[in-house]
């Protein structure tokens, strides 16, 4: 479960900056974890797809997160592997 941290941006005390940095770090860690889960799911589903149509359906399902760099990298790795694998058997 994702925990949200409340930060008062109008707070002028010294701890505000520490709280902001801490919240940004926590956000980055949670985002990285979720992106990892998404890329693993994308890779697993593509590997188990039986046809090209299945692969297009999978890409369509993940289209909204394809702008994320980590997901793009996973997609690029899959395409590179697929090109290399297919070129060796043709």
Return the higher-pLDDT residue of 14 and 50.
50
DSSP sequence for 31-54:
HHHHHHHHHHHHHHHHHH--SHHH
Return the higher-pLDDT residue of 40 and 2.
40
Angle, in degrees to the nearest 10, between helices 52-61 and 15-48: 160
Q: What is the pTM of this model?
A: 0.64
For the segment 32-72, what is each residue's pLDDT rounded down to a tens digit?
A: 888 889 888 988 998 898 988 998 898 888 888 878 887 88
pLDDT at 82 over 80: no
CA–CA separation, 82 and 74 (whole Å):
12
Return the higher-pLDDT residue of 41 and 19.
41
Q: Are 90 and 84 in contact (CB under 8 A)?
A: no
Number of domains in the chain: 1
Domain range enclosing 73:
15-88
**79 within domain boundaries:** yes
**5 within domain boundaries:** no
Q: How many CB atoms lie within 10 A of CB 16?
A: 14
**33 within domain boundaries:** yes
């Amino acid at each position: 479960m994702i925990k949200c941290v409340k930060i008062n941006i109008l707070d002028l005390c010294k701890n505000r900056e520490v709280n902001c940095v801490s919240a940004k770090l926590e956000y980055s860690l949670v985002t990285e974890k979720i992106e990892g889960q998404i890329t693993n799911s994308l890779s697993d589903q593509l590997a188990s797809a039986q046809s090209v149509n299945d692969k297009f359906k999978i890409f369509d399902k993940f289209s909204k997160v394809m702008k994320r760099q980590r997901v793009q990298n996973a997609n690029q790795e899959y395409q590179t592997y697929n090109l290399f694998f297919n070129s060796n058997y043709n």
